[in-house]
Chains A and B, each alone.
Chain A
Amino acid sequence: MEEKKVSELQEGLITMKEVYFGDRQVLVGRRTILTLELIARLAAHGIDSVCVSEDVDFVQRFRMINERVDKKFSVFGNNPLMRRIAGVAKRYFKEKIVKSFG
């Protein structure tokens, strides 16, 4: 476990079982894979740093999804609708990984 600043968190890192902010518990029950949404939520709670373990496997899997989707959608350039679909697809795949972690 290592304490990292929320602003430096990477997708795919794993949080400790429970995350507290002062006395308030903001993540409960189990270790969780960090997604961009979750990192944003932690920041929104005003949390500066979180204890995480660097699981190379999950960080790698998250990175691979980004690369795979980006490569597939690169042919569409800046088409806003296709970029939106790419974003939704990335989230969908990452949720599946988070669920399988379970």
Chain B
Amino acid sequence: MKQEEIQRLIDESSQLPTLLNFYAKFREKISDPRISAGEIAQLISSDPSVSGNVLRTANSSFYGLMNRIHTVPHAIVIIGFSGVHFIVLNTAVFNMFKESELANAAFDLGKLWKHSLAVARLSRIIAKKVNYAAYEEMFTAGLLHDIGKVFVFKYFPEEFNRVIFTVNQKNISMREAESLVLEVDHARIGEMLLRGWNLPETLIATTAYHHDPMLAKQKAKTVSIVHTANTLAHALELGSGGDDLVPIVDAQAWLQLGLSECAIDEIVEDLKKESEIPDEIGEL
């Protein structure tokens, strides 16, 4: 399978997951300066899973409100357009995992979802630690970092099985096995997908370079957040990315974050606290 074949499939929008139908509509709406909050609320309310997640987020302990929020318009006021934007995208990614779940019985996609959710949470925790202002964006970046694997799992099941077989046979990483079997790895496939879906550059960079953060140049620090979160999720065996290996944290990437080694202990402690709260999105 060559990169061109994947690109052709991405370009054939009719075959793409329904992910972006709703998200694309939402982005189009919010980019219109004449749009009112009421119209956004109406659009959000038309999708039960999105409106459920918006309400759940507004009522979460993060916002610490005394009274419960019962309506979508009120929740949007609390969360803000930018926050709602990421909730819509997170819900779409979850739905994409869900739609793909039964496509291939040889691999448990639920484990990849758990891994992605762990990387999302760890990315948000690290982002807060390094005072990265858009930490909710880093949650979404974590959810999306392995989206290339989901794409291969769903649209190229035979090749995906060969990748898994190669991982187990040679005891190599998914990335190495993908390069052998597919001649392209999940980071590159993810980059192509997100570019095709016209997602923000930061999310494209975190997906494309999560194994090589320093190649992201001016976005190296941002990518280093997801890169480090990915290593921690592998080390703690939170879900599975398809192999049992722990990827090394790039020394330069760690320097970019400016954290001491003690921060690793604090990050994992914060994750344990967060994990006691129910998932923001859902379980596969």
* Cβ contact within 8 Å between A89 and B236: yes
B261 x A81 contact (CB < 8 A): yes
- Knowing A80-B261, A81-B254, A81-B261, say if A88 contacts B248 (CB, 8 Å): no
Q: B268 in the interface, Cβ–Cβ < 8 Å? A: yes
Residue ID in chain A nearest B259 by CB atoms = A81
Task: Map CB proximity to A onto B235-273 as digits: 1 under 8 Å, 0 otherwise.
Answer: 111000000111011010010000001001100100010
Stretch at the interface among A6-14, A45-53, A71-79: A71-79
Tell me whether A81 and B268 are in contact in the complex, defined as CB-CB below 8 angstroms, given that A88-B235, A89-B236, A92-B236 are known contacts: no
Per-residue contact bits, chain A 82-94, to B (CB 8 Å; 1 contact, 0 not)? 1011101100110
Kindly list chain B residues whose C-beta atoms are within 8 Å of the C-beta of A80: 261
Q: Output the nearest chain A residue to B245 by Cβ-Cβ distance.
A: A72
Give the distance to chain B from A28, nearest Cβ to Cβ, in Å. Answer: 23
**For the complex, what is the distance from the CA of A84 to the CA of B245, rounded to whole Å?**
17
Q: Is the CB of A85 within 8 A of B244?
A: no
The total number of A-B Cβ pairs within 8 Å is 38
Contacts A72-B244, A80-B261, A81-B261 known; A89 to B235 CB distance under 8 Å? yes
B236 x A82 contact (CB < 8 A): no
Contact between chains at B254 and A86 (CB < 8 Å): no
**Would you call B245 and A85 a contact (CB within 8 A)?**
no
Cα distance A89–B244 when bound, in Å?
14
Distance between B49 CB and nearest chain A CB, rounded to angstroms: 31
> In the complex the two chains form, what is the Cα distance from A35 to B213 in whole Å?
36
In whole angstroms, how far apart are the Cα atoms of A62 and B253 in the complex?
32
- Give the residues in chain B near A88, CB-CB below 8 Å: 235, 264-265, 268
Contacts of A73 in B (CB 8 A): 246
Chain B contributes a number of interface residues (CB within 8 A of A) equal to 17
Q: In A53-83, which residues have CB < 8 Å from any B CB?
A: 72-73, 76, 79-82
Asked if B246 and A81 sit within 8 Å, CB to CB, the answer is no
From A82, which residue of chain B is reached at the shortest CB distance? B248
Report A94 CB to chain B, min CB distance, Å.
12
B173 CB → nearest A CB, Å: 11
Neighbour of A84 across the interface among B236, B244, B261, CB < 8 A: B261
Tell me which of B245, B249, B265, B268 contacts A82 (CB under 8 A): B249
Query: Out of A72, A84, A92, which one reaches B246, CB within 8 Å?
Result: A72
Q: Give min CB distance, A97 to chain B, whole Å.
A: 13
**Interface assignment of B231: CB less than 8 Å from any CB of chain A:** yes
16 intermolecular pairs with C-beta atoms under 8 Å apart: A72-B244, A72-B246, A76-B248, A79-B248, A81-B249, A81-B264, A82-B246, A82-B248, A82-B249, A84-B261, A85-B232, A88-B264, A88-B268, A89-B237, A92-B236, A92-B272
Partner-B contacts on A (CB < 8 A): 72-73, 76, 79-82, 84-86, 88-89, 92-93
Can you add 18 more A-B contacts, CB < 8 Å, to A84-B264, A85-B235, A86-B235? A72-B245, A73-B246, A79-B248, A81-B249, A81-B261, A82-B246, A84-B265, A85-B231, A85-B232, A85-B246, A85-B249, A88-B265, A89-B235, A89-B236, A89-B237, A92-B268, A93-B236, A93-B237
Question: Which 5 residue pairs are nearest across A and B when measured between Cβ atoms?
Answer: A89-B235, A84-B261, A85-B235, A88-B268, A84-B264
